[in-house]
């Protein structure tokens, strides 16, 4: 016999799964059931807040987080969610007060410091920076957190114009991240199926008859290349819903048995019940905040590695490849603390090689896949966001709402900090501050372009052979 607690745990698992799949209305229903049965289930309150945010009901999400903060006063989670909701609603003074309130009680709460830096200036003489400095040598901290203190100090010193000191902080933070992973798997690697995912593979597996339309538009590229900016512009359109980095396609292709080669892998993918990719994104639209949308805009960086497998399944899915000035991108990757999914960012030379490799992949997919594609640069988007987004939409035969694009490219008057390592992407005015910012660190980044050029020549030579 199932106990009430087991039933609650099962329903909470269902709620979290629904939230991760973007089925926010369903997640909300599960959470409501749990809270009615037992209001002390803190995890259900947290998931309920996330579901309401997903549905863009920010006022309700805030009220839910505030109520949870009263019920669970020892938890920082719900206070942090209130601060983040203020940011989403552009209530900057309230957001700052909420973050400072957390830091008053927990002076070294790293997420609060990280997020506060997105819109508030902190000087090297500030108590926040002093706390970070004292913690940076604390060996009792978790390695990732200790490394965070160095990245955050780097951001503070860079904001103060003390670039040499800032770079030294970033350097040490990345050294600690390499050590935390035992210097393993630091290179951006290709799929072992890549040699087989060629034009002949695409022709051999061309679907007949054509599959049902897939409600998806992919934005592909490395982190910090402008993917979120492209998503922000496209998602302003009534027919497009931004869903960010869902990892749905990446996980599907990563989890399938690929040991038999590309043809066998495609046979397995074709044999899966239903159409998993189409079904996933159709569900996100049905249960998301824009039920009349026709496509989701998805930005998971890992999609690029396995993208050739998508062509035979859904040749109608449009793809936007985004790239950026090599040195600016390498510095942005190096100055942003990433998790283990992007270990290549912990070393400037491996970051430069990753940029060359992803550009190689983009060219290969454009040469071989049947999908409609277009390539844009970060610099183009910043210079003319409305024009570039209109060109992308036109390339794919999608309608253009220029007024919506202008609103998406605008600002609420708050001058946010456009630091390369910022956590608050896709918010604030589109400005040119970060174009050429790496010139300030030219001496430290001298090896980037040479490494990139060498890798690009190597890949071009291998392709010719």
| pLDDT digit string, tens, across residues 205-233 | 999 888 899 999 999 999 999 999 999 99
Confidence of residue 415 (pLDDT cuts 50, 70, 90): low
Q: What percent of the chain has pLDDT over 90?
A: 86
Please state whether the predicted TM-score (pTM) of the whole model is above 0.85: yes
Is the peptide bond prior to 209 cis by the omega test (within 30 degrees of 0)? yes
Same domain for 365 and 416, yes or no, is: yes
Same domain for 153 and 202, yes or no, is: no
Q: How many distinct structural domains can be found in the chain?
A: 2
Under 8 Å between Cβ of 175 and 337: no
Confidence of residue 1 (pLDDT cuts 50, 70, 90): low
Distance between CA atoms of residues 374 and 392, nearest Å: 7
Same domain for 204 and 340, yes or no, is: yes
Question: What's the pLDDT score for residue 464?
Answer: 62
Question: Would 397 be classed as within a structural domain?
Answer: yes
In this predicted structure, the answer to whether residue 413 has a pLDDT above a threshold of 60 is no
Question: Would 20 be classed as within a structural domain?
Answer: yes
- Digit-coded pLDDT (tens) for 38-93: 999 999 999 999 999 999 999 999 999 999 999 999 999 999 999 999 999 989 99
Question: Would 250 be classed as within a structural domain?
Answer: no
Question: Would 351 be classed as within a structural domain?
Answer: yes
Same domain for 304 and 402, yes or no, is: yes
Average pLDDT over residues 345-358: 98
Same domain for 96 and 229, yes or no, is: no
Question: Would 186 be classed as within a structural domain?
Answer: no
Question: Would 267 be classed as within a structural domain?
Answer: no
Question: Would 218 be classed as within a structural domain?
Answer: yes
Distance between CA atoms of residues 16 and 43, nearest Å: 9
Same domain for 222 and 155, yes or no, is: no
Distance between CA atoms of residues 56 and 142, nearest Å: 34
CATH of the domain at 314: 3.40.50.300
Same domain for 421 and 453, yes or no, is: yes
Question: What's the pLDDT score for residue 336?
Answer: 95
- Digit-coded pLDDT (tens) for 432-453: 788 999 999 999 999 999 999 9
In this predicted structure, the answer to whether residue 141 has a pLDDT above a threshold of 70 is yes
* Average per-residue pLDDT for the chain: 93
Same domain for 342 and 408, yes or no, is: yes
In this predicted structure, the answer to whether residue 430 has a pLDDT above a threshold of 80 is no
Question: What's the pLDDT score for residue 137?
Answer: 94
Under 8 Å between Cβ of 295 and 216: yes
Token pair recorded at residue 454: 């060498």
CA dihedral 301, 192, 341, 186 (to 10 degrees): -120
Question: What's the pLDDT score for residue 427?
Answer: 60
Same domain for 157 and 235, yes or no, is: no
Same domain for 90 and 201, yes or no, is: no
Q: Residue 171's closest CA among 327, 331, 328, 324?
A: 331
Domain that holds residue 316: 194-244+285-464
Confidence of residue 235 (pLDDT cuts 50, 70, 90): very high
Of the candidate ranges 72-76, 315-319, 361-365, 420-424, the one whose mean pLDDT is the lowest: 420-424
Same domain for 67 and 140, yes or no, is: yes
Q: Residue 174's closest CA among 164, 183, 185, 163?
A: 183
Question: What's the pLDDT score for residue 210?
Answer: 84
CATH of the domain at 107: 1.25.40.10
Q: Which of 146, 180, 214 is the last residue of a domain?
A: 180
Confidence of residue 339 (pLDDT cuts 50, 70, 90): confident
Same domain for 70 and 214, yes or no, is: no
Average pLDDT over residues 113-136: 94
- Digit-coded pLDDT (tens) for 145-198: 999 999 999 999 999 999 999 999 999 999 999 999 999 999 999 999 999 999
Q: Name the residue with higher pLDDT: 291 or 108.
A: 108
Question: Would 30 be classed as within a structural domain?
Answer: yes
Question: What's the pLDDT score for residue 209?
Answer: 87
Question: What's the pLDDT score for residue 418?
Answer: 59
- Digit-coded pLDDT (tens) for 93-102: 999 999 999 9
Q: Name the residue with higher pLDDT: 199 or 1.
A: 199
């Amino acid at each position: 016999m199932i106990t009430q607690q087991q039933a609650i745990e099962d329903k909470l698992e269902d709620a979290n799964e629904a939230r991760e799949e973007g089925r926010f209305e369903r997640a909300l229903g599960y959470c409501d059931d749990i809270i009615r049965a037992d209001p002390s289930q803190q995890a259900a309150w947290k998931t309920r807040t996330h579901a309401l945010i997903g549905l863009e009901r920010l006022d309700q999400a805030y009220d839910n987080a505030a109520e949870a903060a009263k019920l669970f006063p020892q938890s920082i989670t719900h206070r942090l969610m209130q601060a983040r909701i203020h940011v989403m609603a552009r209530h900057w003074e309230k957001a700052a007060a909420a973050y400072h309130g957390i830091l008053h009680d927990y002076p070294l709460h790293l997420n609060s410091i990280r997020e506060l830096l997105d819109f508030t200036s902190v000087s090297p003489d500030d108590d926040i920076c002093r706390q970070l400095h004292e913690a940076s040598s604390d060996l009792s901290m978790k390695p990732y957190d200790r490394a965070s203190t160095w990245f955050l100090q780097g951001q503070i010193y860079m904001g103060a114009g003390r670039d040499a000191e800032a770079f030294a902080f970033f350097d040490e933070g990345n050294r600690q991240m390499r050590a935390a992973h035992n210097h393993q798997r630091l290179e951006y690697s290709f799929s072992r199926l890549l040699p087989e995912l060629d034009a002949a593979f695409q022709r051999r597996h061309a679907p007949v008859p054509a599959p049902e339309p897939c409600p998806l538009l992919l934005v592909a590229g490395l982190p910090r290349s402008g993917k979120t900016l492209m998503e922000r512009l496209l998602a302003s359109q009534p027919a497009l819903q931004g869903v960010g980095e869902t990892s749905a396609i990446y996980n599907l292709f990563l989890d399938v048995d690929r040991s038999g080669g590309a043809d066998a892998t495609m046979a397995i993918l074709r044999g899966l019940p239903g159409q998993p990719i189409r079904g996933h994104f159709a569900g996100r639209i049905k249960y998301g905040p824009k039920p009349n949308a026709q496509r989701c805009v998805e930005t998971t960086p890992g999609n690029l590695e396995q993208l050739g497998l998508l062509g035979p399944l859904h040749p109608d899915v449009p793809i936007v490849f985004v790239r950026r000035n090599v040195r600016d991108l390498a510095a942005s990757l190096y100055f942003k603390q990433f998790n283990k999914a992007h270990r290549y960012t912990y070393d400037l030379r491996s970051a430069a090689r990753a940029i060359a490799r992803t550009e190689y992949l983009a060219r290969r997919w454009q040469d071989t896949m049947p999908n409609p594609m277009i390539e844009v640069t970060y610099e183009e988007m910043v210079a003319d966001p409305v024009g570039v987004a209109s060109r992308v939409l036109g390339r794919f035969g999608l309608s253009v709402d220029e007024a919506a694009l202008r609103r998406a490219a605008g600002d609420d008057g708050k001058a946010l900090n456009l630091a390369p390592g910022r956590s608050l992407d896709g918010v604030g005015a589109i400005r040119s501050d970060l174009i050429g910012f790496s010139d300030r660190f030219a001496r430290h980044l001298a090896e980037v372009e040479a490494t990139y050029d060498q890798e690009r020549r190597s890949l071009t030579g291998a392709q010719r052979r």
